[in-house]
């Protein structure tokens, strides 16, 4: 049996956006995590998919979420206190759709079976990602662990970041070995069957595009400081295609809950004299997004931001049969075959951002991204010359759109990418058998609270501590009930474990805690640490007396 373990449940972010499009902000990372989880549950072939729940509330929320994701019954919610059971779950891979993988070391440490840990790159330019990359360098990840890079550009950026950090540490006298984890490149994907052009005529009517209109679409977050600054694109449109192609319309669509760009964009269009040629469609739902792709003729993506590593909207547009004209920036060049599925415009970036980099920690990541983006120059003249070529040659548009759709179905469809994930994980599992025994510790970013703070207490408890039932404890042990304060399940604490402890304590006037702990482990199947937590909680609530504290 093969099992995949997620540290938590995916969020239903798109559904939240559809319910409240004007207020729900959808960031790329949670949307990607949700898409990957859904794709694995839909197309994966593994036997079980576990989602850890650190609390009772999280367990209920996870079960509700998974009911919408997985009717097949292969998804299972596992309380975090039962995570040690994963050692009996067959061949297991621990997967987090992030490079923040260090916490999975603790999970691996409590399992009886060595399991690969797999992470995934997303944006790499935020400060938390820098610390996560540092943990990849310092923690003892193995040759059967990996960080899946969604693009070659992202892989190079990750390796550059780690190399920079390693050099800084070595300049301070630290000896840092080469990282052993793998960095394979597997792209993100889309559910291609969602993107159809069958409803094109209706979609154009819905958005009031006439048969003559030639629709140029940008779809993504509306922001000057992330994804793409839209104002240069608007200015160049007004000065070029808007003059030479009177039926061309430029549409900006996407999330506008955070930066409120719709008003400024329309004001800029009025100032440029092209307001009748510009549409802004903010805070779109999933249905509106699909309709806009169906209604458009060309997709534009002049990405200029270091926080972008892939460009999922390019895949969506190509899956919809649109030719794309994009910046030759980061992972865009790995998605678009220049001259076949679209056209790429050159990008220039002068090396004058040293001061911005040096003081980045004194600014927010958003402000830093905005400053860096202003130093990135997309050749918009070349971009709109490419647009003009496509507008003038409908046959070329159709051919590139068809080739783009075939490319996405061949390389970027979720069933294809899920197979690549599974082939990689199978190879990692095989690597477990070949590798020497790995350290079982939780890593340097975790520590034993008892070792650090144990001196706070008067005395320490252990398996030799003598315990006895209080009068209240004897009463509840005899009735098989618990007081109200202990009755409801709460995170780690479960009534079945407390009943087992009380029943065992009732068998003798005094017992060593070890006898009660062993009984709870046999009856409730919990670990000794969890049993001890329950024992101490019963003492805290007056059910059990710890003799050593008298």
Domains of the chain with CATH codes: 2-189+418-434 (3.40.50.2000), 192-410 (3.40.50.2000), 449-549 (no CATH)
Contact 311, 335 (CB under 8 A): yes
Structure tokens at 17: 């956006």
Euclidean distance between CA atoms 333 and 309, whole angstroms: 11
480: left (phi > 0), else alpha (psi -120 to 50), else beta?
Answer: left
pTM: 0.91
Q: Which pLDDT score is estimated for 550?
A: 46
Q: Over 80: is that where the pLDDT of 295 sits?
A: yes
437: phi then psi, degrees, rounded to nearest 5: -55, 125
Euclidean distance between CA atoms 42 and 86, whole angstroms: 22
Q: Over 60: is that where the pLDDT of 183 sits?
A: yes
Euclidean distance between CA atoms 152 and 310, whole angstroms: 9
Euclidean distance between CA atoms 322 and 345, whole angstroms: 17
Could you read off the pLDDT of 162-176 as tens digits, one per residue? Answer: 999 999 999 999 999
Could you read off the pLDDT of 34-73 as tens digits, one per residue? Answer: 999 999 999 999 999 999 998 888 888 888 888 887 666 8
Q: Is 16 exposed, middle or buried (0-12, 13-18, 19+ CB in 10 A)?
A: middle
- Percent of the chain at pLDDT > 70 equals 97
Average pLDDT (459-473) is 89
Q: Is 119 exposed, middle or buried (0-12, 13-18, 19+ CB in 10 A)?
A: buried
Q: Which pLDDT score is estimated for 549?
A: 47
Beta strand 347-348 pairing with 377-378 = antiparallel
- Residue 481: count other Cβ atoms within 10 Å of its Cβ: 14
β-partners of residue 445 are none
Could you read off the pLDDT of 108-117 as tens digits, one per residue? Answer: 988 877 899 9
If one compares 205 and 449, the residue with the highest pLDDT of the two is: 205
Q: Over 70: is that where the pLDDT of 255 sits?
A: yes
**Contacts of 27-33 spanning 24+ positions with Cβ under 8 A:** 28/122, 28/123, 28/221, 28/312, 29/97, 29/98, 29/122, 29/123, 32/97, 32/122, 32/188, 32/312, 33/97, 33/98
Q: Which pLDDT score is estimated for 27?
A: 75
| Strands ordered across the beta sheet of 117-120 | 75-79, 48-53, 2-6, 91-95, 117-120, 146-148
């Amino acid at each position: 049996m093969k099992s995949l373990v997620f540290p938590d449940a995916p969020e239903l972010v798109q559904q939240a956006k559809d319910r409240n499009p004007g207020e729900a902000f959808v960031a790329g990372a949670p949307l990607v995590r949700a898409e990957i989880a859904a794709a694995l549950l839909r197309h994966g072939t593994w036997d079980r998919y576990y989602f850890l729940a650190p609390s009772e509330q999280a367990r209920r929320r996870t079960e509700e979420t998974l009911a919408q994701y997985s009717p097949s019954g292969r998804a299972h919610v596992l309380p975090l206190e039962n995570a040690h059971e994963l050692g009996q779950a067959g061949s297991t891979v621990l997967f987090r759709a992030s490079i923040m993988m260090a916490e999975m070391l603790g999970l691996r440490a409590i399992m009886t079976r060595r399991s690969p840990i797999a992470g995934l790159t997303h944006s790499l330019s935020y400060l938390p990602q820098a610390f996560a990359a540092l943990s990849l360098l310092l923690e003892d990840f193995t040759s059967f662990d990996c960080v899946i890079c969604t693009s070659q550009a992202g892989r190079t950026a990750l390796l550059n970041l780690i190399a920079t950090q390693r050099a800084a540490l070595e300049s301070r006298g630290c000896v840092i070995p080469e990282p052993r984890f793998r960095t394979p490149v597997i792209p993100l994907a889309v559910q291609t069957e969602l993107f159809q052009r069958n409803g094109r005529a209706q979609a154009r009517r819905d958005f009031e595009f006439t048969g003559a209109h030639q629709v140029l679409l940008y779809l993504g977050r509306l922001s000057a400081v992330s994804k793409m600054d839209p104002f240069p694109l608007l200015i160049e449109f007004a000065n070029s295609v808007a003059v030479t192609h009177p039926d061309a319309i430029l549409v900006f669509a996407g999330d506008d809950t955070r930066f409120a760009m719709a008003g400024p964009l329309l004001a800029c269009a009025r100032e440029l004299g092209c307001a009748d040629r510009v549409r802004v469609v903010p805070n779109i739902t999933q249905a509106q997004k699909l309709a806009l792709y169906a209604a458009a003729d060309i997709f534009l993506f002049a990405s200029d931001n270091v926080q972008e590593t892939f460009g999922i909207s390019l895949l969506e547009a190509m899956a919809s049969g649109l030719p794309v004209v994009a910046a030759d920036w980061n992972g865009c060049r790995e998605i678009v075959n220049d001259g076949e599925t679209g056209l790429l415009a050159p990008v220039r970036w002068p090396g004058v951002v040293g001061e911005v980099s040096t003081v980045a920690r004194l600014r927010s990541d958003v402000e830093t991204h905005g400053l860096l983006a202003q130093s990135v120059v997309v050749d918009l003249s070349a971009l709109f010359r490419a647009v003009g070529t496509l507008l003038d040659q409908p046959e070329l548009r159709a051919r590139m759109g068809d080739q783009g759709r075939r490319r996405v179905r061949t390389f970027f469809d979720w069933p294809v990418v899920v197979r690549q994930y599974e082939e990689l994980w199978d190879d990692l599992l095989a690597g477990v058998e070949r590798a020497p025994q790995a350290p079982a510790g939780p890593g340097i970013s975790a520590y034993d609270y008892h070792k650090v703070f144990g001196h706070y207490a008067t005395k320490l408890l252990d398996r030799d501590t003598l315990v006895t039932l209080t009068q209240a404890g004897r009463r509840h042990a005899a009735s098989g009930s618990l007081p109200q304060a202990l009755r409801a399940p709460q995170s780690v604490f479960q009534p079945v474990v407390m009943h087992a402890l009380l029943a065992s304590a009732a068998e003798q006037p005094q017992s060593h805690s070890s006898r009660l702990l062993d009984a709870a482990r046999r009856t409730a199947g919990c670990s000794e640490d969890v049993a001890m937590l329950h024992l101490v909680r019963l003492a805290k609530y007056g059910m059990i007396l710890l003799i050593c504290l008298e």
